[in-house]
Structure 1
Amino acid sequence: MSGVAYRAVSLRYHARALSPRGAREHAGRFNRKGTSALYLGRSPLTAVQEYYASEEHTPLVLIPVRYRLKRVIDITGDLAGWSEDWQQWECDWRAALSSADEVPDCASWRCGDDAIQRKASSILYPSKYDPSGTALAIFTEDAVLGTCTIEVQDPFETISDANPLGV
């Protein structure tokens, strides 16, 4: 699977648009704390809707990202016959983060664990916040290993020019 998707990031972090640091430190829909993932909307609207579902209305930068993924788990269709975790991927992962459990857990994180164990580079899923949109959770360790590629589409280097120090 290949194409262009969109990364909505805080204005503060636009020069590090492909960093999975935030998701790794705070968790995300398909990744527990400590696991790297990059979240992209497959349309600009989806990226913005997904961003504002988790951020207060702060300024954002929308960055096009070209991707080439070799092993994608697609959960945009009927999940009958899939495991219970995959059928419940829309669980409230944020509630799991704030639970009193010593080791927080939820179905969508187990889906991410399963995807990584099956050596999938990403999960394609329906957006919860843009009814007609889809999004990608890309497990960035695969990008490091060369089994997928992700790169910012910035032919005129406007991102680095806007913030030459990268801070």
Structure 2
Amino acid sequence: MRGNTSRLGAFLRDALNRHPAFSANPLGDWKELAGDQVARHCRPKSLKEGLLVLVASDAVWKHHMELHKEILREKINAGREKPLVEKIVIRIGEVPEEEAAINPGHQLLDRLKAKKQRTRRQQAKLRPLTAEEEALLAAIPDKELRKIGSRLLRRTTPPEIPQELDRG
């Protein structure tokens, strides 16, 4: 049952990561969408219930984006069954250097990590010790060291005895 649970969890994480509403940047690559020059002076701030809020670096870029917001909205929604962006609002503010995640709920997805499955280790079959090994262990004065040596020897394959010694 646990194997099925981990596969189901992996499937759900994958499906949620592929769905645009659950991704960190549901619009996709902003530079690719808006162009390099626009991306340097204008960034998406949030996307909530179809409302995309953009931040422009100054009034000139705000005006430029106001003139092109319908084209941008159509470009974002192209190829989608249900429109992702219904309205765009542009504000003037500080444009961060790096692209921020505009979906704050995306951090919750990062917390979903695959649980480590505990696997039962197969118990190694213990073999009986040979007379030589028992004699060797008996010569060890430390009781704890004898115990460790015994466990190690029982888990290893017995040494092969050369045929010329076995006959004699």
Q: TM-score with structure 1 length normalisation?
A: 0.25
The structure with the largest strand share of the pair is: 1
TM-score of the superposed pair, with normalisation by structure 2? 0.25
Higher RCO (CA < 8 A, seq sep 6+): 1
Give 1 or 2 for the bigger CA radius of gyration.
Answer: 2
